[in-house]
Chains A and B, each alone.
Chain A
Amino acid sequence: MNITPDMKMADVLFHNYTLLPVVSRFNIKLGFGDKTVSEVCRNSDVNLDFFLEITNSYVDEDYIPQKELNTFPVSLIVQYLKKTHQYYLEEKIPEIERNIQRVLDAEKTINDKFSLVENFFTEYKQELTNHINREEANVHPYVLEIEAAAIKNEINKSLHSKIRKYSINDFASEHDNVEEKLFDLKNIIIKYLPPCNSSGLCNSILIELFRLEKDLNAHANLEDKVLIPKVAAMEEKLLALYKA
């Protein structure tokens, strides 16, 4: 079922609770009463079409983005991606870390084994942080620069050599999957760790890992299916302009 402007925002969340963090990323706060999606977006100063595209593709992997998605400014997408990064580093990762620490405190007997999970996760966190930093330091400024040039319809020598040196497709090909490690971690906890008595804690670690994985996939989809093609098209246009 697609999310539409006339639906009540509360109903949207009743049907898809996984959207909760996504909605927060738009700075939309709970307490909607009977307001519709479009009313809530208007009140919170959120671009309605963008909200619909993001939420629909989040709940339905087969959802085909409407053409309008291409009319959103790159800056809006970048802003959303940044919010998502923040959510990973400031909420999700620390939450999982805390639970891992709790298991370590509770399980003295398998403590040494479980500390391997801790190390593994620390490594993962570092990898994810590097990945995010690289995107925010290099890729985001680059795509914003491309967009600004495309709007003005002019390209100078330095931007031309930048595109030649490192285009968005290079980024796409380097776009390593940070999901692999996450998958291994779930596998290790489910299959290979010695039985853990704090099963409640272990379960919540696993559930958070599954959710993080889903969110990362949606995040990667937004980059691969929307941002990259959009920027690639602008690059092409700019290069043609430079030649002329």
Chain B
Amino acid sequence: MERSFEKYFRQNRLPHLWCPGCGNGIVMKAIVQAIEKKGLDQDKTVIVSGIGCSSRASGYMDFDTLHTAHGRAIPFATGIKLANPELNVIVITGDGDCTAIGGNHFIHGCRRNVDLTVVLFNNSIYGMTGGQASPMTPTHKKATTAPYGAIDRNFDACRLAEAAGATYVARSTAFHVQHLTDMIAGGIDNKGFSFIEAICQCPTSFGRKNKMADPAKMMMWMRDNAVMKAAWDKLPDDKKTEEKFPIGLFYNESETDYATAYNEVIQIAGGADK
């Protein structure tokens, strides 16, 4: 039986160009399922993406889509949201795109609390350009630019988003598909800057360098090392090893969003309609 989420894909573009076993496809499905769950109008939803493997997703999704400059997806999305606040704007970005090239745009998007839903596909590597270490490559993991293991400490994008002022911060993985869908759906519900980090596997660039070339093994790694937030909080510190990470909803607060604040200014200044 044909699945209902298929209507959100540009059928003539599939199969997608991602490598066999790439987690991006799973996360893209989770996004469209969250959109379907929330009943968003296909003509009132805009997908904005930057550059990178993850950002190719906008090309496969049957909405109004925008494939923008490297790291600049959030500024483009801010413009769309301010020009027409009734649109639902979803930003698709990768770990390099969001935290390296677009790092400043990301923190200022959080700070302004623009009503966007940002889904970060974290595959821990620059996949498209040949497996260079990104700011989210875990310390000691190998990459083509870090053959002895990365010495840099990696970003925790969720903590970064929370500190910068995002009002909805969550993390999930490509293994926990239904959980990921729920997290994205929650982000769509939140009026303000919603940030969801989706950990996904890159068997080709990250896996082969780190003895996990089998995509199923990478997903089993997620299954074994992801700890739900509630359980994580009770976990004693000695059990919080380097590999383990928490998933779930980390932060949710309601604050005035940017479009509302801007509209107040428009009214004070005489109103756009007069």
> Is B one of A's binding partners?
no
Q: Which residues of A pack against B, CB within 8 Å?
A: none
Q: Which residues of B pack against A, CB within 8 Å?
A: none
